[in-house]
Amino acid sequence: MADSLSDTLKKLKITAVDRTEDSLEGCLDCLLQALAQNNTETSEKIQASGILQLFASLLTPQSSCKAKVANIIAEVAKNEFMRIPCVDAGLISPLVQLLNSKDQEVLLQTGRALGNICYDSHEGRSAVDQAGGAQIVIDHLRSLCSLTDPANEKLLTVFCGMLMNYSNENDSLQAQLINMGVIPTLVKLLGIHCQNAALTEMCLVAFGNLAELESSKEQFASTNIAEELVKLFKKQIEHDKREMIFEVLAPLAENDAIKLQLVEAGLVECLLEIVQQKVDSDKEDDITELKTGSDLMVLLLLGDESMQKLFEGGKGSVFQRVLSWIPSNNHQLQLAGALAIANFARNDGNCIHMVDNGIVEKLMDLLDRHVEDGNVTVQHAALSALRNLAIPVINKAKMLSAGVTEAVLKFLKSEMPPVQFKLLGTLRMLIDAQAEAAEQLGKNVKLVERLVEWCEAKDHAGVMGESNRLLSALIRHSKSKDVINTIVQSGGIKHLVTMATSEHVIMQNEALVALALIAALELGTAEKDLESAKLVQILHRLLADERSAPEIKYNSMVLICALMGSESLHKEVQDLAFLDVVSKLRSHENKSVAQQASLTEQRLTVES
């Protein structure tokens, strides 16, 4: 075999130059045979013989053996080591020229050759890009799209594969294809050829690649992709095929317009059916599909319109089914159910309806099942849902009397930052303008001590921020001396002073209001802590800083006045020449700031 291959290659060199048609065809057939028997070894010999350079001259439109030569190139380019030599031999430009042929076999072999050269090859892709190959292939896809004979479908499959290899994991080439309008063409292909498994698969892989690109989403949204994918999904029984469709649906469903289209096309019903079929199975494929399906369901609920459509005033069958997931024994369904409720709870109307219809008790039962060695993701999701439900004012008292604070406080010992973060957020929402609840929580020494500890969680900015905000909220909403005393004794004052320097205006403001209440109600108790936390210096800095927001300047001056009741803090105020800074603020453009500056100036003058 090796000898005859060497002979063939020598003969081919001579005949390629002489153009003796018959012997040329014979040589090419021998090469194809050798490649079929041992592709790698034959390809190495072809490369060593230098014959690749001669192939360019055999790829002209006039050449009678161009299809066979393209077929040989397609075969050798299956080997990674042959792709750059094919580019260096100048084969790309003549191959791209052959894409203008009317001969189906020539087009098929040329598409294969270019697709294989582009596979994982930057050089191959660049050369095809420079030769303008992509546009010609997209034009072919458009013109051949409606023909459903087997030979044409095979050609369409090869062309789709070529575009995929050309652009895979290359954002700029994917963007180029999108600008050339490949998306509507591929969607049309999928609709017409949904019976052809190979072509359908190619379209799905191409969608999966393109859908990752943000710029593709708008183009996808203007086609009927949602309808086509759902139609295809309903037909699939095999796990692998469904998985492929899921891989396209997930990135597409990040777009709100497509979310709504998928809901309208009936995807949710398909997903609910999968959940029902797979929930009790312990097969790995079924567990994966249950997770993918329920995750996708939650994703669809992230769009405002799609969520509201499925909520249907709380009477929707989808909403009811999701509710039934929460008491389930399957952790994945419990998680998806709680996340879905958190997503439904994104406007006051939905939250009020759900609280009135007993959702809080279901979520508390779920949390109860996860207190000891519980599933962290389920804890996090259930707390997220409770936090969202607690936003409308009318829900707070109802949730408090249902015992939500007690249920949430069971997780105070959690060491998981995501759970800590949601726990803090839920408590903060619950006590907003609820004086009694704020006082009760603010006198809970265990809670306050944990908050003070978390205020130092420098590795978890979210937990640190929420702890500070809850400390401040306990004081602001309770206006209670007992609460202030608990916070002073637990060492919380320094954190409130630090919070006044936060980069977030809302947090600065909350801290200043809480500190003003401390100064008004329990200045004697807090005096030493305020001093050692350098509060007066911080207030001077806030007032002197032109970048401070008007409400920060206003509340800083209110606080200065409140601090005058302490001899040591009063002395610090005098030493820092506050009068200069305050008198400048009398001409501030904000009227409230200007008025407060006049009052503060009078106070400072009288007291000095």
CA 77 from chain center: how many Å?
37
Q: Which range (97-111, 142-156, 230-244) has the least confidence?
A: 230-244
Residue 564: partners with Cβ closer than 8 Å, 6 or more residues away: 570, 573, 603, 607
Last residue of a domain, one of 235, 255, 275: 255
Task: Please state, for a pLDDT cut of 70, what percent of the chain lies above it.
Answer: 97
What mean pLDDT comes out for the span 98-119? 96
**Domain endpoint, select from 227, 255, 283:** 255
Q: How many domains does the chain have?
A: 2
User: Residue 240's pLDDT is what?
Assistant: 86
In a domain, 536, yes or no: no
Name the token pair of 25: 């065809």
Structure tokens belonging to residue 303: 């769009």
Q: What is the pLDDT of residues 403-435, one digit of tens each?
A: 999 999 999 999 999 999 999 999 999 999 999
| CA pair distance 231, 266, nearest whole angstrom | 9
Please report where in the chains the tokens 């294989």 appear, as a residue: 116
* Same domain, residue pair 70 and 142: no
**Average pLDDT over the chain, rounded to an integer:** 92
Query: Would the pLDDT of 263 be above 70?
Result: yes
pLDDT-wise least confident of 115-119, 298-302, 574-578: 574-578
Average pLDDT over residues 548-571: 92
Residue 20 scores a pLDDT above 60: no
Q: Is residue 395 part of a domain?
A: no
Query: Which is higher by pLDDT, 237 or 127?
Result: 127
The answer, yes or no, to whether residue 18 has pLDDT greater than 60, is: no
Residues 229 and 139 in one domain: yes
Q: Do residue 98 and residue 161 come from a single domain?
A: no
Q: Is 316 exposed, middle or buried (0-12, 13-18, 19+ CB in 10 A)?
A: middle
89: confidence class by pLDDT, cuts 50, 70, 90:
very high
Are 153 and 82 part of one and the same domain? no
What does the pLDDT read at residue 21? 63
pLDDT category of residue 14 using cuts at 50, 70 and 90 = low
- Last-in-domain residue among 229, 255, 281: 255
Concatenate the DSSP letters of all residues of 424-469 into one string. Answer: HHHHHHHHTT-HHHHHHHHT-HHHHHHHHHHTT-TT-HHHHHHHHH
Provide the pLDDT for residue 1: 44
Identify the pLDDT of residue 3: 55
Same-domain pairing of 51 and 113: yes
Q: What are phi and psi of 114, to 5 degrees?
A: -65, -40
Domain range enclosing 120: 1-131
244 and 195 both lie in a single domain: yes
Q: Could you tell me if residue 97 is inside a domain?
A: yes
Which phi-psi region, left, alpha or beta, contains residue 314 (left: φ > 0; alpha: ψ -120 to 50)? Answer: left
Assess whether 140 and 124 both reside in one domain. no
Cα–Cα distance for residue pair 114/127, rounded to 1 Å: 10
Give the pLDDT band (50/70/90) at residue 533.
very high
* Same domain flag for 12 and 113: yes
* 75: CATH: 1.25.10.10
Percentage with pLDDT > 90 across the chain: 74
With 0-12 / 13-18 / 19 or more C-beta atoms within 10 angstroms meaning exposed / middle / buried, residue 146 is: exposed
For residue 276, is pLDDT > 60?
A: yes
Same domain, 250 and 145: yes
* Same domain (yes/no): 197, 220: yes
The per-residue pLDDT for 523 is 92
Distance of CA 153 to the CA centre of its chain: 36
Average pLDDT of 139-150? 92
- Supply angle C-alpha 302, 308, 311, rounded to 5: 105
Q: Residue 257: pLDDT band by 50, 70, 90 thresholds? A: very high
- Under the banding of pLDDT at 50, 70 and 90, the label for residue 385 is very high
